[in-house]
Structure 1
């Protein structure tokens, strides 16, 4: 019997889309065709590859109206936010701009006797396993530099955003991408793991849960396949006594609650210098109370349902446990009658929290944030590092040197000052600890999607 993948819409619990699961044999045959196509793609001049990738992204932009509606139906993001095209376009433009420099050979010697240099050559076939929370942005982070560098790409999206990989590939194909250079596969977990275990790919980029990353590592064990893993996060914000309070509240609360809190680098815990604490929580309460929970197809909605009832249940559990252990919720449930106990989940701000509570330790990935007062940089630093994850940290101060001193001691991938929940394509997107390993975007992203190949050419025989 043919198995099917079903996307259950968080809007109403209905089946929004379904696709048959490919057999491992048919998927392996498709990957074999991709491997053949990659050779001729890599031989194309860099400028041609860049131009075709840019045309593919432009064609995707032309599908914006359909994409925005599909995202609302599949994972609940309000249509008022217009999809992910700003980031998609910015990241594509930057990676195209730096491609020649990032992929340029390193010349060691060019003399009458020797030519010695190091080239960056494609890994080969890159497998992208993309998540549902930012299904276009996270995929583009690897699709664009992988194809520009001369790799072929196989993509598989999370079932919650089942149609995204299919749509991206369609856009690139319509823009002129050669056949089999970039394909989408509909696979279940078992099928993906079998392909990985068989050594079908030369590099794998996975964005998702810690458990998913562990499964990828186990499947790849012994194949020597390169891995890029962006897994969980519990990103902190630290507001120092000299911070611009209104700016900090607006940015950190947006970072905590945008996309119903379902952001890789969303703010999940906030530490505030005690002199600002009372005012900060008053303003944070007002900020969250002004959100409008509702159907994402309604242009007035500012916070839609979580992508899945199961995800909302975990956030409710963490919140309830914290309250039972003494945390105090600031947001009045009567302001959010749309909270249905299912995917529609009201935002919540918790105070009187501590690190014995799961809501301050485990990834929540939903519209809840805990706020604690601190009395020193040392205390804030200890709390920020008291975490299994390390993706980003947001520091709020008017003193850059202080931010750098503190930032040097934080165990994380990116330090931001007076900013949060943001990805700069010129900087390597990376993490540490249980957040994973590797890095995308920037010149380093190109280096991870290629391998060095050394040339030692003696021009004259002795």
Structure 2
């Protein structure tokens, strides 16, 4: 009897999905089929690929209400917000499809008498994508759509928390008429996922997940000379300067910290506020967070759902308790949130002051509904604190002075610098991280570079 995965819904603790796990036989078959299909697909014109993938996007969006409900039940995002992931999926997919002819076109280094010289982008072959549960479509689409557009085949292994997302991809591609074998999904154990990545028939691995997971990926592919793309999380900072538009900053920073119950790789997890605005910001932030409505994500009035697992909520509770023990002050009364209960994934949001970098809540990735606010006296102090992290995914600067934001941004060790916004991926810009936030790049024209290899043509036309 084969092993199976069981998705426990954070909504009510019920088993929402159960699926058999694939094994060595299924992996072997999927990779053989993928290689054969890719050999034909790489010769299909880019314009034809565009037509098929646009049909797939349309088929996916047509099921948006069903998909949104499934997101809520699988990982706990409020139904009032879950539909936004479908819209974000479409935005990213559309952009990467539209930019493909330019990104994949031949590069001509310039005329040289008697020669025809150019560089062509060639598909890698089979791309394995390992996707997480927290933004199950937005993380996966970053790799799936451009990989196919570039002429590759894709094998997707999705999180056991969100297995229906892999199946929704397959459904959309089938409706669009994507040739068989070009997109496949496998529900796999961790051990078999490592076997998939390590197989000689896999030419690139795209992984989104934890730092330990990233190390496991590197180990799995270590016997091959292939590249990997990895997004491994963050502890993203926000810096509030004295010249900030305070109300705008409060609204957007708090949303950036608590959207999706704080379960976002690029969510704001630590805040540094100039001493002249610290008290006002902290007061307004705590007041706004106290108005959140924690409850069942199926309730349309809820804007803060449960964490994905009880163990995740317990981890954040531990961070908060340790910080308070060490001198932090909690500004939000958990008693205001009736759904907040120990031993469940329902966790009251929290804002902390009197925090510092000796506390886990300011250094460890929380991935939950908590944020600490520190007082700073200068840009220099803020920059030093923002860079004092093992992570470097995004950082945001809240100021009226664009020149200052650019100057500070140049000194930050991060993949993306925001000014007066946060927690958003513009598909026209490279999505990348430094330090333990990973390596590689998705989205934008540059996102196609890791999914292709350059091939130079040097043709002597005059003899």
TM-score (norm 2): 0.98
Quote the Cα distance in structure 2 between the aligned partners of 1:108 and 1:435.
34
Map 1:43-442; keep pairs closer than 5 Å: 43-83=43-83, 84-108=85-109, 113-341=114-342, 342-442=344-444
Contact 1:28/1:200 (<8 A) preserved: no
Quote the Cα distance in structure 1 between the aligned partners of 2:432 and 2:453.
19
Unmatched 5+ stretches in structure 1? none
Deviation (angstroms), 1:346? 0.8
Deviation (angstroms), 1:111? 6.2
Quote the Cα distance in structure 1 between the aligned partners of 2:435 and 2:53.
33
Deviation (angstroms), 1:72? 0.8
Quote the Cα distance in structure 2 between the aligned partners of 1:200 and 1:373.
52
Quote the Cα distance in structure 1 between the aligned partners of 2:426 and 2:175.
29
Contact 2:232/2:438 (<8 A) preserved: yes
Aligned residues: 461
Q: 1:90-120 deviations in whole A, cap 9, x for unaligned?
A: 1122112211111111113566732111000
Say which SS state the counterpart of residue 109 (structure 2) adopts.
strand
Deviation (angstroms), 1:85? 1.6
What's the C-alpha RMSD, in Å, of the aligned pairs? Answer: 1.1
Contact 2:209/2:233 (<8 A) preserved: yes
Quote the Cα distance in structure 2 between the aligned partners of 1:352 and 1:200.
53
Corresponding residue for residue 19 of structure 1: 19
Deviation (angstroms), 1:123? 1.2
Deviation (angstroms), 1:200? 2.9
Deviation (angstroms), 1:198? 2.5
TM-score (norm 1): 0.98
Contact 2:334/2:349 (<8 A) preserved: no
Contact 1:425/1:441 (<8 A) preserved: yes
Quote the Cα distance in structure 1 between the aligned partners of 2:408 and 2:103.
31
Deviation (angstroms), 1:14? 1.1
Deviation (angstroms), 1:297? 0.5
Deviation (angstroms), 1:31? 1.2
Deviation (angstroms), 1:128? 0.7
Quote the Cα distance in structure 1 between the aligned partners of 2:200 and 2:232.
22
Deviation (angstroms), 1:51? 1.2
Quote the Cα distance in structure 1 between the aligned partners of 2:53 and 2:260.
28
Q: 1:207-260 deviations in whole A, cap 9, x for unaligned?
A: 011111110011111211210000020000000000000000100000000100
Quote the Cα distance in structure 2 between the aligned partners of 1:26 and 1:291.
45
